[in-house]
Each structure stands twice: as structure tokens, then as C-alpha cells.
């Protein structure tokens, strides 16, 4: 049963990336959160702890804080084109239940692997949890291409009519998920309801004034169009 929430702010549920956490993502986005006081950003952890396949160095997490993943990478094939979407269905069920119990939320923001989860939630996959009706928009930050053998064919048939508005965010200097890679995903969406924004940085969610303006503009259009 959903929580009775009287909303005065736009509420956005934020999904972290791979080898990431709600705490880390909130820290990385702290300037954006502080600046946009009319938005309530809610950060949650995946229910799946990170599994190290020995391609990450210990120095990548000097604080030894708990890290998480929404799904695994294939061992010995670490590549953004070699995902193993082993737990994505369970992750989507977990997120959907969280929204239903703690919502409503106006939108989703997914970073990197979290963006893949958000994107998949937009698809009509038989016997999978559906996107809660309260979600009016989705923001995909540094979203890699989809290559899963189950999800990719459904993405290929995505209907461009009556889509949930999406904002696709890419860093000009992102060497992990390049702009060209994120553009592959953008091409599946109707330009009348989807926007592509390029910032000057790398693989992170920007917080400069230009992006804040774009975000406000996008949310206004998505929620009140």
C-alpha cells in the first residue's frame, strides 16, 4: 500500500550505477541536490551487493564502503557491451515495490547501470513488473547500449507513440560511456518527447547552471504538458 504523501516538491528516485551506492551517488550529486531545492532526490541502494570479478583494483574503493549492483558483468568479459543481465528482473520488481510503498514519485533518474534499469522499466516485457503510473518522466545519465538477448529485441520494437518523456544526458569527455554510445539509445525515442543533453564533463551527472536550467525546463514540460 502506497504511503500517503502530500507533495510540495517534485520527487525523483535515483538509481546508482555499477559498483556504486546510494551514499556515493548522493555525494557525487550533492551540489545539484543543494541547488535544486524544489526537487526531492531520493537515493536507494540495490538489493544486490557488488560482486568483484577481480577487474577492479582495491584503490577504487579506499573507504571500503559497501557497494552494490543492479546486475552483474560477465567474468573475464568486462565491457559495456558484455553485460549479464542476470538480476535485472528482480531489481525492477524491487524498485517497483519501493515506489508503490514509498511513493508517489514523479520521475526516475538512472546513472550508468541504473540508467539501463530505468530504460528497461519503460519496455513492455511480458510477466515483468510495469512502470508505476505515477512516473511522468525518466532521466538517463551515461546510459550504455542494450545488448541483452531478452531485452534488446523488445527495445528494437519500442513504440515511439505516447512515450514517457525522457532526458538523455551524456558527458562530452566521458570515455567509459561515450556520447556515441548514449546516442544509440536515444535513437529509439521520439524526438518530440525525448531530449539529448551533452555536458562538458565525464561519466557523472552534471550540476552546472546550464544543466540545472535544462532539468527544470524538462521537468516542467514533462509534468505539465
Per-residue pLDDT of the chain (225 residues; tens, 9 = 90+): 444 445 578 999 999 999 999 999 999 999 999 999 999 999 999 999 988 766 555 555 556 688 999 998 665 455 555 556 889 999 999 999 999 999 899 999 999 999 999 999 999 899 999 999 999 999 999 999 988 888 999 999 988 887 899 999 999 999 999 999 999 999 999 999 999 999 999 999 999 999 999 999 999 999 886
Q: How many domains does the chain have?
A: 1
182 touches 143 (CB < 8 A):
yes
Q: Which of 77, 84, 71, 55 is nearest to 147 (CA)?
A: 84
Note whether residue 90 is domain-resident.
yes
C-alpha cell at 76: 573475464
DSSP reduced 3-state for 128: coil
Note whether residue 40 is domain-resident.
yes
Buried b (16+ CB within 10 A) or exposed e, 149-163: eebeebbeeeeeeeb
CATH number reported for the structural domain that contains residue 102 in this entry: 3.40.50.1820
Exposure of 224 in the CB half-sphere (CA atoms within 13 A): 7
Note whether residue 58 is domain-resident.
yes
Note whether residue 198 is domain-resident.
yes
Note whether residue 64 is domain-resident.
yes
Note whether residue 212 is domain-resident.
yes
Amino acid at each position: 500500500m502506497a504511503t500517503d504523501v502530500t507533495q510540495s516538491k517534485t520527487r525523483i528516485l535515483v538509481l546508482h550505477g555499477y559498483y556504486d551506492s546510494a551514499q556515493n551517488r548522493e555525494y557525487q550529486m550533492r551540489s545539484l541536490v543543494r541547488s535544486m531545492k524544489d526537487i526531492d532526490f531520493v537515493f536507494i541502494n540495490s538489493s544486490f551487493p557488488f560482486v568483484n570479478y577481480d577487474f577492479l583494483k582495491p584503490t577504487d574503493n579506499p573507504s571500503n564502503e559497501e557497494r552494490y549492483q543492479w546486475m552483474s558483468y560477465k567474468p573475464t568479459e568486462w565491457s559495456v557491451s558484455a553485460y549479464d543481465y542476470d538480476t535485472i528482473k528482480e531489481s525492477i520488481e524491487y524498485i517497483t515495490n519501493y515506489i508503490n510503498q514509498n511513493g508517489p514519485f514523479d520521475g526516475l533518474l538512472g546513472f550508468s547501470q541504473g540508467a539501463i534499469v530505468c530504460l528497461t522499466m519503460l519496455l513492455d516485457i511480458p510477466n515483468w513488473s510495469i512502470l508505476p503510473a505515477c512516473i511522468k518522466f525518466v532521466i538517463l545519465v551515461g546510459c550504455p547500449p542494450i545488448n541483452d538477448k531478452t531485452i534488446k529485441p523488445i527495445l528494437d520494437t519500442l513504440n515511439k507513440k505516447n512515450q514517457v518523456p525522457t532526458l538523455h544526458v551524456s558527458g562530452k569527455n566521458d570515455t567509459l560511456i561515450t556520447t556515441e554510445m548514449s546516442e544509440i539509445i536515444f535513437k529509439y525515442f521520439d524526438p518530440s518527447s525525448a531530449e539529448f543533453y551533452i555536458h562538458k564533463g565525464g561519466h557523472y551527472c552534471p550540476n552546472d547552471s546550464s544543466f540545472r536550467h535544462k532539468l527544470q525546463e524538462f521537468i516542467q514540460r514533462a509534468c505539465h504538458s
